[in-house]
Amino acid sequence: MQHISHYRSPLGELLLAADETGLTGAWFAGQKYFARGLDPAAEEGEAPALAAARAWLDRYFAGEAPPVDIPLHLIGTPFQREVWELLLAIPYGQTTTYGGLAVELARRRGAAHLSAQAVGGAVGRNPVSVIVPCHRVVGASGSLTGYAGGLDRKIALLTLEGADTARLSRPTRGTAL
Protein backbone atom coordinates (compact mmCIF):
# COMPACT_ATOMS: atom_id res chain seq x y z
CA MET A 1 0.00 0.00 0.00
CA GLN A 2 1.33 3.41 -0.96
CA HIS A 3 0.85 6.48 1.19
CA ILE A 4 1.14 10.03 -0.05
CA SER A 5 2.07 13.33 1.52
CA HIS A 6 2.45 16.86 0.22
CA TYR A 7 5.53 19.02 0.70
CA ARG A 8 5.61 22.78 0.09
CA SER A 9 9.00 23.65 -1.36
CA PRO A 10 10.24 27.09 -2.42
CA LEU A 11 9.84 25.83 -6.01
CA GLY A 12 6.27 24.57 -5.67
CA GLU A 13 4.42 21.71 -4.10
CA LEU A 14 5.82 18.19 -4.28
CA LEU A 15 3.69 15.08 -4.05
CA LEU A 16 5.59 12.42 -2.11
CA ALA A 17 4.72 8.71 -2.21
CA ALA A 18 6.07 5.76 -0.29
CA ASP A 19 5.33 2.14 0.38
CA GLU A 20 6.58 -0.14 3.15
CA THR A 21 9.95 -0.48 1.36
CA GLY A 22 10.75 3.19 0.79
CA LEU A 23 10.11 6.39 -1.10
CA THR A 24 8.55 5.65 -4.50
CA GLY A 25 7.91 9.13 -5.80
CA ALA A 26 8.51 12.86 -5.45
CA TRP A 27 6.90 14.93 -8.20
CA PHE A 28 6.46 18.66 -8.64
CA ALA A 29 2.83 19.57 -9.32
CA GLY A 30 2.31 19.67 -13.06
CA GLN A 31 5.62 18.10 -14.04
CA LYS A 32 5.96 15.68 -16.92
CA TYR A 33 5.16 12.11 -15.79
CA PHE A 34 3.45 13.49 -12.67
CA ALA A 35 2.50 10.66 -10.31
CA ARG A 36 3.52 8.02 -12.85
CA GLY A 37 3.48 4.67 -11.08
CA LEU A 38 1.38 5.95 -8.20
CA ASP A 39 -1.07 3.34 -7.00
CA PRO A 40 -4.61 4.65 -7.61
CA ALA A 41 -5.48 3.33 -4.16
CA ALA A 42 -2.73 5.40 -2.48
CA GLU A 43 -3.99 7.24 0.57
CA GLU A 44 -2.88 10.33 2.42
CA GLY A 45 -1.01 8.98 5.40
CA GLU A 46 2.30 8.44 7.04
CA ALA A 47 5.20 6.14 6.31
CA PRO A 48 8.74 6.29 7.66
CA ALA A 49 10.12 7.16 4.21
CA LEU A 50 7.73 10.11 3.89
CA ALA A 51 8.90 11.65 7.16
CA ALA A 52 12.52 11.04 6.14
CA ALA A 53 11.92 12.65 2.73
CA ARG A 54 10.31 15.76 4.25
CA ALA A 55 13.22 16.14 6.71
CA TRP A 56 15.72 15.68 3.86
CA LEU A 57 13.92 18.28 1.72
CA ASP A 58 13.87 20.75 4.64
CA ARG A 59 17.64 20.44 4.95
CA TYR A 60 18.21 20.57 1.19
CA PHE A 61 16.12 23.72 0.66
CA ALA A 62 17.91 25.30 3.65
CA GLY A 63 21.10 25.05 1.57
CA GLU A 64 22.59 21.90 3.09
CA ALA A 65 23.97 18.94 1.14
CA PRO A 66 22.32 16.08 3.02
CA PRO A 67 23.34 12.52 2.17
CA VAL A 68 20.61 10.49 0.52
CA ASP A 69 19.95 8.20 3.46
CA ILE A 70 16.24 7.87 2.77
CA PRO A 71 15.04 4.36 1.99
CA LEU A 72 14.22 4.42 -1.72
CA HIS A 73 12.03 2.04 -3.68
CA LEU A 74 12.71 3.09 -7.26
CA ILE A 75 10.27 1.27 -9.51
CA GLY A 76 11.27 1.04 -13.16
CA THR A 77 12.96 -1.15 -15.71
CA PRO A 78 16.38 -2.59 -14.87
CA PHE A 79 17.95 -0.06 -17.28
CA GLN A 80 16.13 2.86 -15.66
CA ARG A 81 17.19 1.73 -12.18
CA GLU A 82 20.83 1.52 -13.32
CA VAL A 83 20.65 5.07 -14.63
CA TRP A 84 18.95 6.32 -11.45
CA GLU A 85 21.72 4.74 -9.38
CA LEU A 86 24.23 6.73 -11.43
CA LEU A 87 22.27 9.91 -10.68
CA LEU A 88 22.71 9.29 -6.96
CA ALA A 89 26.49 9.34 -7.45
CA ILE A 90 26.57 12.88 -8.94
CA PRO A 91 28.01 15.12 -6.22
CA TYR A 92 26.00 18.02 -4.82
CA GLY A 93 26.67 21.20 -6.78
CA GLN A 94 28.19 19.42 -9.76
CA THR A 95 26.82 18.39 -13.13
CA THR A 96 27.45 15.67 -15.65
CA THR A 97 26.17 15.04 -19.15
CA TYR A 98 23.84 12.43 -20.58
CA GLY A 99 26.78 11.27 -22.70
CA GLY A 100 28.98 10.98 -19.60
CA LEU A 101 26.34 8.84 -17.90
CA ALA A 102 26.09 6.67 -21.04
CA VAL A 103 29.87 6.15 -21.07
CA GLU A 104 29.89 5.20 -17.37
CA LEU A 105 26.96 2.81 -17.73
CA ALA A 106 28.58 1.19 -20.79
CA ARG A 107 31.80 0.77 -18.80
CA ARG A 108 29.93 -0.87 -15.90
CA ARG A 109 28.16 -3.22 -18.30
CA GLY A 110 31.29 -4.03 -20.28
CA ALA A 111 29.66 -2.62 -23.41
CA ALA A 112 31.37 -0.64 -26.14
CA HIS A 113 28.68 2.04 -26.33
CA LEU A 114 25.29 3.07 -24.93
CA SER A 115 23.00 5.72 -26.33
CA ALA A 116 22.93 9.08 -24.57
CA GLN A 117 19.34 9.43 -25.78
CA ALA A 118 18.36 6.18 -24.04
CA VAL A 119 20.02 7.42 -20.86
CA GLY A 120 18.16 10.72 -21.27
CA GLY A 121 14.86 8.86 -21.51
CA ALA A 122 15.59 7.07 -18.23
CA VAL A 123 16.73 10.30 -16.54
CA GLY A 124 13.51 12.01 -17.61
CA ARG A 125 11.43 9.25 -16.03
CA ASN A 126 13.13 9.48 -12.65
CA PRO A 127 10.22 9.18 -10.20
CA VAL A 128 11.98 10.89 -7.26
CA SER A 129 12.69 14.50 -8.22
CA VAL A 130 15.34 16.48 -6.33
CA ILE A 131 16.38 13.59 -4.04
CA VAL A 132 17.52 11.48 -6.99
CA PRO A 133 19.27 14.44 -8.63
CA CYS A 134 18.32 14.29 -12.30
CA HIS A 135 18.55 18.10 -12.32
CA ARG A 136 22.35 17.70 -12.24
CA VAL A 137 22.41 16.26 -15.76
CA VAL A 138 23.00 18.63 -18.65
CA GLY A 139 23.35 18.21 -22.38
CA ALA A 140 26.49 18.09 -24.45
CA SER A 141 28.72 21.16 -23.99
CA GLY A 142 26.81 22.13 -20.85
CA SER A 143 23.52 22.97 -22.54
CA LEU A 144 20.52 23.02 -20.24
CA THR A 145 18.20 20.43 -21.65
CA GLY A 146 14.93 19.08 -20.39
CA TYR A 147 13.89 18.64 -16.82
CA ALA A 148 10.51 17.09 -16.09
CA GLY A 149 9.91 19.79 -13.46
CA GLY A 150 10.75 22.61 -15.89
CA LEU A 151 13.99 24.37 -16.80
CA ASP A 152 13.37 27.23 -14.35
CA ARG A 153 13.29 24.71 -11.50
CA LYS A 154 16.39 22.97 -12.83
CA ILE A 155 18.27 26.28 -12.83
CA ALA A 156 16.97 27.14 -9.35
CA LEU A 157 18.07 23.74 -7.96
CA LEU A 158 21.53 24.05 -9.50
CA THR A 159 21.82 27.62 -8.21
CA LEU A 160 20.78 26.52 -4.71
CA GLU A 161 23.57 23.93 -4.83
CA GLY A 162 26.11 26.52 -5.93
CA ALA A 163 26.70 24.90 -9.32
CA ASP A 164 28.41 27.07 -11.91
CA THR A 165 25.28 27.91 -13.89
CA ALA A 166 27.02 30.77 -15.74
CA ARG A 167 28.79 28.21 -17.93
CA LEU A 168 25.53 26.43 -18.75
CA SER A 169 23.62 27.53 -21.81
CA ARG A 170 19.89 27.69 -22.32
CA PRO A 171 18.64 25.23 -24.92
CA THR A 172 17.83 26.17 -28.46
CA ARG A 173 15.41 24.29 -30.62
CA GLY A 174 16.85 20.94 -31.57
CA THR A 175 19.57 20.86 -28.89
CA ALA A 176 20.94 17.32 -28.72
CA LEU A 177 21.64 15.40 -25.55
Q: Which residues contact 123 (CB under 8 A, 6 or more apart)?
A: 83, 87, 98, 101, 134, 137
- Pairwise CA distance, residues 174 & 23, whole Å: 34
- Pairwise CA distance, residues 25 & 42, whole Å: 12
Tell me, yes or no, if 134 is annotated catalytic.
Answer: yes
List the catalytic residue out of 53, 131, 134, 157: 134
CA dist list (Å): 67 to 15, 24, 27, 163 = 21, 18, 20, 17
What positions carry a catalytic annotation?
134
